Amino acid sequence: MFLKLRNKLRQNPDLYSKTRTDINFVLPLATVFFVLCLILILNRYYSFYASFDQGIFNQVFWNNLHGRFFQSSLSSSLSTNVVHSGELATVYYHRLGQHFTPALLLWLPIYALFPSPATLGVLQVIFITAAGLILYVLARQYLQPPLAVMITASFYAANAVIGPTLSNFHDISQIPLFVFGLLLAMEKRWWWLFWVLAVLILAVREDAGVNLFGVGVYMILSRRFPRAGLAACILSFGYMLLLTSTIMPLFSEDVSRRFMLERFGQFGDGDGQASTQEIIWGMISNPWRLIVELVTPLDRTIKYLLGQWLPLAFVPAVSPASWMVAGFPLLKLFLGKGETVLAINVRYALTVVPGLFYGAILWWSQHPKRFKLSFRRFWAFCLSLSLLFSFTSSSSSLNRAFYFLLPDSFNPLVYVSLPQQWSHVLQFRPMLAQIPPDRSVSATTYLVPQLSSRREIIRLPVLELRNDARQVEKVDYAIADLWQLKQYQPAFKEERNLLRELVQLFDQLTKTQEYGVIGFRDGVILLQKAATPNPQATAAWLSFRQQLEKELIQNRAT
């Protein structure tokens, strides 16, 4: 095979030149994206800016590795039983009641080799980098190398790609890889692979079927593969309906009592719970409300679309295929409630990306002559803007991947430099080793991921959970990074309120001698239940607390 390829290239020098050009441009693009994202995401983790969701997924993987599949005390703290009913988090809670994510088991062998929360970040970067390479192969089914390279560059420069890649690990990071693979299998008529990837897409999470449904709609409306498209639509819709109405409720009531109401409660009847069927009927029976929810808030909706179209020079806006494939993922976001559904740098944005890029490929296949020098310059300008917006949005409080380059707030100024943060980490990190891996712990948000490879862990200020014996117990250790909260509390009310609450909590715990301060370094306090206090650590805590009280009073006055 190699000899045949070599002879073919010798007979056609132009083909050799194009092949070499492909390699010279695409692989460096993927390599630069991979290396930069890997450095940023590992720095984010090891400098303690990975947050709660990273801890949830790591605990899920850790429990899977120990045969307790999809259990998580951290995820339990977000369940409807805790949030709405006021119950305590349990260590035996099955996360499949919140999000049905069996596809995560694919990566368990890799996690078994490298059992660390950092492994999940590396996997996420690999998923997205590989998705870009498959996108290039998909683009080459229709386009010449220069256009295919630009499409790939647009993917790696998209805000909707960079932001979610640099965030906490999430299940949606698998979507571009699987959907681009599915579309490539469709183009190649590899139907066995198409249906394998269709099943994997459904296994990503309970709402991932929306992506498969969009592909099925395109296959029908384009009249290319109507039968397979109809089968994909029936499979995806039926699976989502069965899963959310029958299977997931076997694990918990989170779908009907929490997630449906939080995202689509405006279409329910307001009785405190809603099934998938009830929400769908609420949309069908009230078309006026459906239209209003679809376009409002108008400014954020338009801004979101522009942000998604920007890296592709707005071509998806005029591509019918983009609207067909990405239309239903967009519809799910536009009809949902919450601040994050229309945030371009949050994980949900990734669900829209495959459809937009596939539609752009098909549009360019019909208009290749539009790829002139003037448009290439405009496209390059759009890519530059997309990279700029990716940088600024990834520095926000939702991500903070570039916390060391851009302040979180300018007035008042809130900025933590890289040397400052790493100096802080090096001072307090040895304290984490004082917490045995088989003991229960409660920690502040940015300490949770590093401690999440254990059975019993919860987030401060909560100190109680229900163990495997179904008994309520207080955690053995509590650890809080008060220095981190102190840096951000001048500009952020949430951090300020939590800081006050934790100071009051630790005052109470030490006063009653229920917990003793056994460690304090650079604003990080470690307490152990029923322990004899360390005199030096206690004195350092009281000194820090006195200084902290003055700052809290000052910020309250301003």
Q: pTM here?
A: 0.93
- Residue 398 is predicted with a pLDDT of 67
What pLDDT score was predicted for residue 499? Answer: 95
Q: How many Å apart are CA 147 and CA 153, to the nearest integer?
A: 10
Q: Are the beta carbons of 466 and 503 closer than 8 angstroms?
A: no
Residue 374, token pair as written in the block = 């003037």
> Can you name the residues that pair with 478 across neighbouring β-strands?
442, 527
Backbone angles phi, psi at 340, to 5 degrees: -85, -15
DSSP for 118-174, please give it. HHHHHHHHHHHHHHHHHHHHHHTTTS-HHHHHHHHHHHHH-HHHHHHHTSS--GGGG
Greatest CA span in the chain, whole angstroms? 86
Q: Give 71's strand partners.
A: 94
Residue 285, pLDDT score: 82
pLDDT of residue 25: 84
The token pair at 349 is: 């944005």
**Location of structure tokens 């088991």:** 105
**pLDDT for res 271:** 66
β-pairing, 464-466 with 409-410?
A: unpaired
Classified as helix, coil or strand, 402 is coil
| Residue 521 bridge partners (DSSP) | 524
In the structure encoding, which two tokens stand for residue 296, read together? 């409002």
Which two tokens mark 379?
Answer: 């496209």
In tens digits, the chain (558 residues) has pLDDT values of: 434 434 544 555 554 445 555 767 899 999 999 999 999 999 999 999 999 999 999 999 999 999 999 999 999 999 999 998 899 999 999 999 999 999 999 999 999 999 999 999 999 999 999 999 999 999 999 999 999 999 999 999 999 999 999 999 999 999 999 999 999 999 999 999 999 999 999 999 999 999 999 999 999 999 999 999 999 999 999 999 999 999 999 999 888 877 777 778 788 776 667 778 888 888 888 888 888 888 888 889 999 999 999 999 999 999 999 999 999 999 999 988 877 889 999 999 999 999 999 999 999 999 999 999 999 999 999 999 999 999 888 666 667 889 999 898 888 899 999 999 999 999 999 999 999 999 999 999 999 999 999 999 999 999 999 999 999 999 999 999 999 999 999 999 999 999 999 999 999 999 999 999 999 999 999 999 999 999 999 999 999 999 888 777 766 655
Neighbouring C-beta atoms of residue 407, cutoff 10 Å: 14
Instruction: Find the angle CA(498)-CA(504)-CA(509) to the nearest 5 degrees.
Output: 120
Q: Can you tell me the distance from the alpha carbon of 75 to that of 374, in angstroms, rounded to the nearest whole number?
A: 51
Edge to edge, the sheet with strand 524-529 lists: 457-459, 441-443, 477-481, 524-529, 515-521
pLDDT at 20: 54
For residue 8, what pLDDT is reported? 47
Q: Decide: 219 and 229 in contact? Cβ < 8 Å.
A: yes
Write 184-191 long-range contacts (CB < 8 A, 24+). Answer: 184/134, 184/137, 184/138, 184/141, 186/215, 186/219, 186/225, 186/228, 187/138, 187/141, 188/141, 191/228
Q: What is the DSSP letter of 491?
A: T
Q: Which amino acid is at 403?
A: Y
